[in-house]
Amino acid sequence: MKVIIIGGVAGGATAAARIRRLDEKAEIIVFERSGYISYANCGLPYYIGDVITDPGELTLQTPESFLRRFRVDMKVKHEVTGIDSLRKVVKVKNLNNGEEFEESYDKLLLSPGAKPTQPNIPGTDIEKLFTLRTVEDTFKIKDYVVKNSPRSAVISGGGYIGIEIAENLRDLGLEVTIVQRPMQLMNTIDPEMAAFIHAKMRSRGVNLMLGRSVEGFENENGGVKVLIKDEMPLHADMAILAIGVTPDTYLAKDAGLELGMKGSIIVNDRMETSAPDIYAVGDAVEVKHYITGEKALISLAGPANRQGRIAADNICGGDSRYPGSQGSSVIKVFDMTVANTGINEKTAKSLGLNYEKLMLFPMSHASYYPGGKMMNMKVIYEKDSLRLLGAQIVGFDGVDKRIDVLATAMNAGYNVLQLKDLDLSYAPPYSSAKDPVNMAGFIADNIEKGRLKQAYWEDVDKLPRDGSITFLDTRTPMELMMGGAIEGFVNIPVDSLRDRLGELDPSKPIYVSCQSGLRSYIACRILMQNGFDCYNISGGYRLYSTLKTDRLAAEESFACGVEK
């Protein structure tokens, strides 16, 4: 059997190694357009920022090492220019010498990945505008930074790559501005969670221009002029275009393969395309979202690796199936960690799902053990079935652990109430006896059994201040004096509430807040058992004030043109 693989990195290289482990006699050839066949593309921004200092660390395998271990012929600097699925041949161009030739196959695997999205605006070809996809792109950016010592950079796009490049350039001392069309960074999470990311970025000196559109780039005085719609242009020594990725599927299109959303390759759960003996994996393929069953494009290394293994199994006569992508991801934002899995609230709402959401702010480990830090958690579940839909966490220590537990529970089909029964490890330096994941289950249990009614941050300012509702803040007077309060809330500390029930009107609904939602829940339990109609404001003043501050900063950036 002769197998040709187009593209290395995650999916292609994984498939090549798996095929060899399954079939010692197969002839395996990988054609890779770049000069590298297996590299840590997720680590590329950290080489730019000197976190990774040895360029050799970016290369997981070389053509020589792959040949020695797996007897796979890795041909770098070879671009496949065409596929003839009837004759079962590919057309190849050797980029080193220009030679063109054909290579036959019995099985063909496409792993072309995705390319940086190129908007239809002027100036995307200027010298000091960079994109980041390959090792060569990384070296190009790094060489420019080392040789020219730029003092400023503008990044168009606030997704994963944009944030990681911003952090690394900022750590090198550059003045960094992110221009992002949506009003938040990282659209995989919801606005209230993104507000904590915005606060971190601003605290580290990154300027955020949210809700703005880049309309073009121009060379100017040895640097770059970035044209912003309805704004004064920005001037910088360099610019990065990071507005997303697009499936790199021109070969599949020319070969007549069936294509899906955004030109992606349609595959079945065996990773088979519409053409016989042609498989496809990675960022270029359309997948099923594991939670919703909807079509999705999910550009992550984990799914690409698993798809490569599944395709390899089936190429070798097996019957492996890909169940879909859940979208679990994690990103470092300076000293903060942001992670999510499943769908966010925006998606749940767009799909018309009847959902409930939980906001909680647990400590990363036991509060009495030094060094614990608060994490911000949001869990979404379906009301009728109690099925877990998604989770988002922004924090510091332990974020990756909790998101992986939640992702595993979702994959296993657990409902939200089963989170309270998970038997998770505990020691004071690592967790609490009631782990944050357990706490999410406890909150859901209280909601579903009618012990807790919630109100949300987006409701607070819409509620009437005409005396028909009582607003209660259960924090201490010192907390209010030091940290502020929501307009119209009266203060009765939770520890004094039982003795002061006579000050409250039982005929009016009461909306209760504290710093994070815990003390206000305790207050609601007291009030509900004394005949009051009580609503706990999910996330408390911590969430409300963070969003208020975020919105004020965004408004000021519009007034000033750019944050300072």
- Point out the residues that are catalytic: 42
Q: How far is CA 67 from CA 17, 75, 349, in A?
A: 10, 10, 50
The CA-based angle 524-527-529, given to 5 degrees, is 105
How many other CB atoms are there within 10 angstroms of residue 461's CB atom?
12
CA neighbours closer than 13 Å in the CB half-sphere of residue 24: 0
Structure tokens at 309: 């293994």
Rounded CA-CA distance 129/137 in Å is 11
- Tell me phi and psi for residue 531, to 5 degrees: 90, 10
Side-chain-side CA neighbours of 305 within 13 Å: the count stands at: 7
CA 262 to chain centre: 19
Residue 30, C-beta contacts closer than 8 angstroms, at least 6 positions apart = 4, 5, 6, 7, 8, 12, 13, 16, 37, 66, 72, 73, 74, 75
Separation CA 466–CA 390 (nearest Å): 37
| Integer Cα distance of 393 and 330 in angstroms | 9
Upper half-sphere CA count for residue 452 (Cβ side, 13 Å): 23
Gyration radius of the chain over CA positions: 27
- Cα end-to-end span (Å), the chain: 62
Q: Do the beta carbons of residue 223 and residue 238 sit within 8 Å?
A: yes
Cα(142)–Cα(519) distance, rounded to whole angstroms? 50
Please name which of 516, 505, 524, 525 lies closest in space to residue 546, comparing C-alpha atoms. Answer: 516
Nearest to 243 by CA among 171, 193, 187, 283: 187
Which of 458, 208, 236 lies closest to 333, judged by CA?
208
Alpha-carbon distance of 36 to 518, in angstroms, equals: 52
Question: What is the chain's length?
Answer: 564
Q: Find the Cα–Cα–Cα–Cα dihedral 548, 552, 554, 557, rounded to 10°.
A: -170
Please list, residue by residue across 390-412, b when 16 or more beta carbons sit within 10 angstroms of its beta carbon and e when fewer do.
bbbbbbebbbebbbebbbebbbe
CA distance 188 to 307: 22
